[in-house]
Every structure is written in C-alpha cells, then in structure tokens.
C-alpha cells in the first residue's frame, strides 16, 4: 500500500486505529472523500468516535483522546455536560417538534436577550450559515442597497454570499475565486484587508453598502486576531456613515465572554449572528439585533416588505432545551474564564516545548483558541497577546504544507490528542491534567515528525 502520510507514523496509525480504517472503507463508497464535513477529512483515514465525556472522546478502538475540536467550537462546557444531558433527556419524551410555538423558545430567546447587548430582538435559525445569510438579507431589505463589505479571511458559513475570500490565498494580483459562485455575487462583495480601518472606511464611502460584516475576533476564530480598538473604531466609522454593522459571533458568542466578543470590546453592533454554544451542542443558530431592523421579519411591517423566513427546525425544542441549560452555566462567566485560562497554558507550554526541542514552530491565539504555525522564522513569542508576523494577514493566513498537516494530526492522535487541523479550542472541562498530558503528547508527536524526517530540530 502506498504511503499517504509518512513511513513510521502511517504504519503506527493504521495499527492503532484499525476499526476506523474499516469504517472509512465503507464511507468512501458513500460520501465524497468519505466525510460529511471538509475539516474532518484526514489522510490516510479519519477516526470514528464512539462516545465522549468532558474533554475526552473515545474512538471505536477504545483510544482515549483529549479533544480540541470541542464540537467545532460548540462545546464550551465539554462533551455531555450533565445539565445539558438532563435538559435534553427531559425534553425528548415531551416533544422533538411540536410544529407550533412553545415556551422553551421564549426561555431560550430571553436568555439571548439578557446576555447579548445588541439583542433587542431575536430570530432562531438552524445554523450559523443561515444566521449570516439572514443578516445580510435583512440589511439589504432595510437599506435597499446590494453591496456587502467583508474582510479577507473572515468566515461566515458556506453560503454563496459570504464564502468568497473566507480563506487563503489572499493574493491581490490574482483576486479571489470560488467554484460555483457567480460573478453577480462577487460583484456585490467588497473585500477589504482585515484590521484595516482606513480601507473599511474608504469602501463604505465608495460603495454605500447595505452592511459591513466582521467575524467576531477575526479571521476564522482569530487566525488574524482583531483587537478591541479595531472593532471600536469600526463601530464608530459605521455609526458615523449610518452603515449597518453585523458582528458574526457564531464562534465567539457565549465562548470568549458570556456576552460575546461585543461585551469584551464594549461595543453594540446593529445585528449579531450566533450559533454553536448558543444551542448547547445541538444544532441551532440565531440572528439578534435592533428591533427596527428585525422588524422586516414581522408581518405588516412599516417598510411594507416582509422577509420570508420559514425553516422546519427553527427554534427546535431539543436545541432550545440544551441551549437554555448551557447558557445558564455560561452566564456565570466561569466556563469562558476556565477555557481561556487553559488555552493560555497550552499556548505557553507549547512555545516552551518548541523552543526546548529547537523546532521552529510557534503557538499563539486569543481566548480559548490555540493556533500553530509550523516553520516560523520571525521574532517572538512575547506574552500571551503576541501575534506572529506583526499581524500581517498575508503571512499569517496562509495554507501550510498538506502532507505535514495530515502527518501532524495522525502523530497527535497516536499520542492521545485530537487536534483540529492547525488549531484547537479548549472547553471548561479541560483540566490541568489534560493540559499536562497535552504538552507531553505534543512533545512525543514532534519527536515522531522529526524521526520520520518531516521536520527538523536544531
Ligand atoms: C464565525 C462563523 N460564522 C459562521 C459559521 C457557520 O456556522 P455553521 O457551521 O453553524 O453553519 C461558522 C462556523 O464555523 C463560524 O465560525
């Protein structure tokens, strides 16, 4: 069999994860590339998880793994938090879909209203993708304008309107392309560099857009981090030009702070999109914002233009039950504090380990995110809010070597860690022992990569 990853790592991986290999054989005849989400694709095969609890998950071969996916960011409280399990168990026998209004949707919406500063009104969706789609449609109806200003590298879900420029390459000469997205959609998008207030202000002045949309703390959960001063500046610029500001808090909402990134920065956007932690680990999203904007969803509204919004599973009671239970814990502020603290420990521990092994890798990130750069040759790291490459998005937001990426993830899995590509997220269930075990596992994975000749130590 030809090697997909590297000699030693791949043969050990096949040996340790045999049941996953067998399941993947079935999957390739069923799903394109055998997976149901792009990020879950792994060479030579992804792992199949059997069950999960707290910060750990167990695969079909009984391998115990410290999880840094955390439900793609949805599980701030860890897997199967007792309050969430109890709430969904209670609800499942009562109704999974009443096909009617129900009290839990009020309970859920009221929590959002209480916790999120911009949430004068709320509308539930099934996902974050739907929430951002709804936000820009609302902005277009209210303003009568078509254009949208978005930032290069910011991810807002996979729909046509906002997927362009969500990932590298950010090449000013060649421009952005996206298979299947029409020229008309590109024509309505104005893409500006992240963290560039002047460029954003100029784009607003030139294009008079329906809205500006910004991803919480920056490109794909902070690959290119945003600082509060930038968002405060953007709020000021958009307010002065009477432009709608949408803050996409699908990942930062309820995670970085109980009131989201907007509470951390002390700003109030016009509309906010949320999902993930909102629904306590079940599917669900929402748009929240100014009452006069969300009014377009109301019948007989003053604009005389009703935005259509059906959706079979909107405000699903199981998601509402899980969401209410999770948000009650989140509201204490403790989950964000613990997750942020544990991620900072992982970041500094990794940087110490990379330095001691003479490997030119670096870890950085804000809040509960941990980003890794392999092959970093710049200055630093210095302190926990340090950003590599001086924050230059063209150097920070790049695609790393694919073969190394797959080998890295396999090497980590062999050492008890399930890492999400080049990044990971902590939860409040990650204990000090988990952090210690993670640092040891990472060190062993680095040794494997060196032994297989994929990276070099000084
Ligand atoms: C900032 C942001 N917006 C939107 C989305 C899309 O959300 P969903 O995957 O629920 O459609 C994501 C998903 O990762 C996200 O991180």
DSSP H helical ranges for 126-215: 128-143, 183-187, 197-207
CB 9 within 8 A of CB 455: no
Per-residue confidence in pLDDT tens, the chain, 458 aa = 567 777 899 999 999 999 999 999 999 999 999 999 999 999 999 999 999 999 999 999 999 999 999 999 999 999 999 999 999 999 999 999 999 999 999 999 999 999 999 999 999 999 999 999 999 999 999 999 999 999 999 999 999 999 999 999 998 778 899 999 999 999 999 999 999 999 999 999 999 999 999 999 999 999 999 999 999 999 999 999 999 999 999 999 999 999 999 999 999 999 999 999 999 999 999 999 999 999 999 999 999 999 999 999 999 999 999 999 999 999 999 999 999 999 999 999 999 999 999 999 999 999 999 999 999 999 989 988 999 999 999 999 999 999 999 999 999 999 999 999 999 999 999 999 999 999 999 999 999 999 999 999 88
Q: CB within 8 A of 237, min separation 6: which ones? A: 197, 200, 201, 204, 243
Q: CB within 8 A of 192, min separation 6: which ones? A: 149, 150, 151, 152, 199, 200, 203
Q: Tell me the pTM.
A: 0.97
Tell me which residue has its CA closest to atom 7 in ligand 1: 128
Six-digit token string for 73: 């960011």
Q: Please state the atom number of ligand 1 nearest to the C-alpha of residue 216.
A: 1
Looking at residue 216, what is its pLDDT? 98
Q: Tell me, using a 6 A CB cutoff, whether residue 127 lines ligand 1.
A: yes
Looking at residue 458, what is its pLDDT? 84
Q: Tell me, using a 6 A CB cutoff, whether residue 275 lines ligand 1.
A: yes
Q: Tell me, using a 6 A CB cutoff, whether residue 279 lines ligand 1.
A: no
Q: What are phi and psi of 53, to 5 degrees?
A: -155, 130
Looking at residue 347, what is its pLDDT? 98
**Domains contained in the chain, CATH given:** 7-78+334-451 (3.90.1150.10), 82-330 (3.40.640.10)
Residue 398 CA to ligand 1 centre (angstroms): 20
Looking at residue 2, what is its pLDDT? 62
Residue 158 CA to ligand 1 centre (angstroms): 8
Q: Please state the atom number of ligand 1 nearest to the C-alpha of residue 157.
A: 6
Please give the C-alpha separations between residue 352 and each of 58, 341, 347, 349, 382, in angstroms, as whole numbers.
Answer: 29, 17, 9, 5, 12
Looking at residue 415, what is its pLDDT? 98
Residue 243 CA to ligand 1 centre (angstroms): 23
Q: Please state the atom number of ligand 1 nearest to the C-alpha of residue 129.
A: 11
Rounded distance, CA 399 to CA 223, Å? Answer: 11
Looking at residue 5, what is its pLDDT? 74
Q: Tell me, using a 6 A CB cutoff, whether residue 66 lines ligand 1.
A: no
Tell me the residue ranges of DSSP E strands in 193-252. 211-215, 244-248
Looking at residue 311, what is its pLDDT? 97
Q: Please state the atom number of ligand 1 nearest to the C-alpha of residue 73.
A: 14
Residue 131 CA to ligand 1 centre (angstroms): 9
Q: Tell me, using a 6 A CB cutoff, whether residue 252 lines ligand 1.
A: no
Residue 151 CA to ligand 1 centre (angstroms): 15
Between β-strands 121-125 and 189-192, what pairing exists: parallel, antiparallel or unpaired? unpaired
Rounded distance, CA 230 to CA 238, Å? Answer: 12
Please give the C-alpha separations between residue 330 and each of 224, 255, 271, 402, in angstroms, as whole numbers.
Answer: 26, 8, 21, 36
Q: Tell me, using a 6 A CB cutoff, whether residue 155 lines ligand 1.
A: yes
- Looking at the DSSP bridge assignments, the partners of residue 288 are 122, 272
């Amino acid at each position: 069999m030809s090697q997909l990853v590297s000699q030693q790592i791949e043969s050990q991986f096949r040996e340790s994860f045999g049941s996953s290999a067998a399941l993947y054989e079935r999957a390739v005849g069923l799903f394109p590339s055998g997976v149901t989400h792009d990020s879950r694709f792994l060479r030579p095969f992804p792992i199949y998880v059997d069950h999960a609890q707290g910060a750990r998950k167990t695969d079909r071969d009984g391998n115990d793994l410290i999880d840094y996916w955390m439900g793609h960011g949805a599980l701030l409280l860890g897997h199967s938090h007792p309050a969430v399990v109890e709430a969904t168990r209670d609800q499942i026998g009562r109704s999974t879909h009443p096909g009617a209004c129900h009290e839990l949707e009020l309970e859920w919406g009221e929590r959002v209203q209480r916790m999120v500063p911009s949430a004068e009104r709320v509308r539930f969706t099934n996902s974050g993708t739907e929430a951002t789609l709804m936000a820009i449609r609302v902005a277009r109806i209210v303003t009568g304008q078509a254009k949208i200003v978005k930032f290069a590298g910011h991810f807002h879900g996979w729909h046509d309107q906002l997927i362009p420029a969500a990932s590298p390459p950010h090449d000013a000469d060649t421009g952005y392309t996206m298979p299947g997205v029409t020229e008309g959609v590109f024509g309505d998008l104005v893409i500006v560099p992240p963290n560039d207030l002047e460029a954003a202000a100029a784009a607003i002045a030139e294009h008079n857009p329906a809205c500006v949309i910004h991803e919480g703390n920056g490109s794909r959960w902070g690959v290119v981090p945003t600082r509060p001063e930038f968002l405060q500046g953007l709020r000021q610029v958009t307010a002065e030009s009477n432009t709608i500001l949408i803050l996409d808090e699908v990942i930062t909402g309820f995670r970085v702070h109980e009131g989201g990134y907007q509470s951390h920065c002390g700003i109030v956007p016009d509309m906010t999109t949320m999902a993930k932690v909102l629904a306590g680990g079940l599917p669900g999203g929402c748009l929240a914002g100014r009452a006069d904007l969300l009014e377009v969803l109301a019948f007989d509204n003053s604009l005389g233009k009703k935005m259509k919004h059906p959706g079979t599973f909107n405000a699903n009671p199981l998601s509402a039950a899980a969401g209410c239970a999770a948000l009650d814990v989140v509201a204490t502020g403790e989950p964000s504090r613990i997750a942020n603290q544990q991620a900072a420990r992982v970041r500094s521990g990794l940087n110490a380990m990379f330095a001691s092994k003479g490997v030119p890798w670096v870890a950085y990130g804000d809040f509960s995110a941990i980003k890794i750069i392999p092959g970093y040759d710049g200055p630093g790291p210095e302190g926990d809010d340090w950003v590599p490459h001086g924050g230059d998005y063209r150097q920070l937001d790049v695609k790393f070597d694919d073969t190394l990426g797959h080998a890295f993830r396999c090497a980590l899995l062999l050492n008890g860690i399930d890492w999400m590509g080049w990044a990971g997220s902590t939860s409040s269930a990650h204990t000090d022992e988990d952090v210690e075990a993670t640092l040891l596992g990472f060190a062993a994975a680095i040794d494997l990569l060196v032994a297989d000749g994929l990276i070099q130590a000084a």
